[in-house]
């Protein structure tokens, strides 16, 4: 065992080694290695990453990795996730000694991360709006009607007025979309430990109706409040997609590299 490499799924706050005996990637036995108050969830492996030319095989491996993290969140009341194919190799010392050294040297940083994610999980929130209805409402507003009703004296002026109306519709629509985004973000932020906006681009002229994509770090009480907020706002104008819970990758990815 000491001469083998170790595949690391994640880190939990545990001051002793536990014979966990969970099944991981390819049915490998997952167990814990402890040092300095933290334990790594590992299985013994070769000193090479899990790779395949078949995308479906890679997907299966990643799913197996995440299933271990899902179970860890329930069993240990939280987990600091590490990315797929995190492997500790042997060198002058065994892989186990190298892992223990890393845990010991990282104790202060791990403590800070654990305080942030303990008893919390990550959820994905996608908010959709009725773009067509929004544009129709703006198009029928008095401001746009005034532009469109101006008398034209020739095709050139008519074209300019149509262009002006379209520009104004887009301008008002962008303002309204940003207003809605800020309102949803503010309401959900109030009941979340941490909230991040996932990059997305919204084009009024394209057939897209995603208003906002968020990742929330929350406990069980907080996610219940978010579900209530979304339920109250659900209508013909808005719909929602809630995914999770997940290990909190989004909120630790820059701290575990």
Name residues whose C-beta falls within 8 Å of residue 193's C-beta, 6 or more positions apart in sequence: 116, 120, 217, 218, 219, 222
> Is the CB of residue 94 less than 8 Å from the CB of residue 47?
no
Q: Rounded CA gap, 68 and 244, in Å?
A: 15
pLDDT at 239 over 70: yes
Which helix (H) or strand (E) element contains residue 129?
Answer: strand 121-129
Angle at the Cα of 41 from the Cα atoms of 39 and 46, rounded to 5 degrees: 125
Which helix (H) or strand (E) element contains residue 197?
Answer: strand 194-197
pLDDT tens for 157-213 read 454 445 665 666 667 777 788 888 899 999 999 999 999 998 765 444 444 588 899
Please give the structure tokens belonging to residue 112: 């800070």
Q: Given this model, what pLDDT does residue 129 score?
A: 84
Q: How confident is the model at residue 152 (pLDDT cuts 50, 70, 90)?
A: low
β-bridge mates for residue 33, sequence order: 40
Q: Rounded CA gap, 156 and 232, in Å?
A: 48
Name residues whose C-beta falls within 8 Å of residue 9's C-beta, 6 or more positions apart in sequence: 24, 30, 40, 41, 42, 43, 65, 68, 69, 72, 81, 82, 86
Q: Rounded CA gap, 100 and 163, in Å?
A: 66
pLDDT tens for 202-236 read 444 444 588 899 999 999 999 999 999 998 887 76
User: Domain spans of the chain?
Assistant: 5-117, 121-252
Percentage above 70 pLDDT, the chain? 79
Instruction: Report the first-to-last Cα separation within the chain, whole angstroms.
Output: 26
Q: Quote the pTM value.
A: 0.81
pLDDT at 77 over 70: yes
121-129 and 210-218 strand pairing: antiparallel
């Amino acid at each position: 065992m000491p001469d083998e490499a170790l595949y690391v799924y994640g880190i939990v706050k545990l001051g002793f080694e536990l014979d966990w005996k969970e099944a991981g990637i390819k049915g490998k036995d997952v167990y814990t290695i402890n040092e300095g108050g933290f334990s790594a969830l590992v299985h013994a492996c070769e000193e090479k990453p899990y790779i395949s030319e078949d995308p479906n095989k890679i997907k299966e491996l990643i799913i197996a990795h995440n299933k271990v993290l899902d179970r860890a969140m329930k069993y240990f009341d939280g987990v600091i996730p590490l990315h797929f194919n995190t492997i500790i190799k042997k060198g002058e010392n065994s892989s186990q000694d190298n892992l223990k050294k890393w845990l010991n040297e990282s104790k202060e940083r791990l403590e800070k991360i654990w305080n942030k994610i303990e008893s919390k999980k990550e959820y994905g929130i996608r908010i959709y709006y009725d773009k067509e209805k929004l544009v129709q409402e703006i198009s029928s507003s008095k401001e746009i009607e005034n532009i469109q009703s101006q008398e034209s004296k020739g095709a050139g002026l008519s074209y300019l007025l149509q262009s002006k109306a379209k520009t104004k519709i887009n301008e008002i629509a962008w303002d309204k979309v940003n207003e809605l985004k800020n309102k949803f973000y503010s309401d959900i932020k109030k009941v979340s430990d941490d909230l991040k906006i996932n990059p997305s681009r919204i084009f009024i002229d394209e057939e897209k109706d995603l208003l906002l994509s968020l990742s929330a770090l929350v406990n069980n009480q907080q996610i219940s409040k978010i579900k209530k907020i979304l339920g109250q706002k659900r209508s013909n104008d808005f719909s929602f997609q809630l995914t999770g819970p997940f290990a909190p990758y989004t909120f630790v990815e820059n701290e575990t590299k």
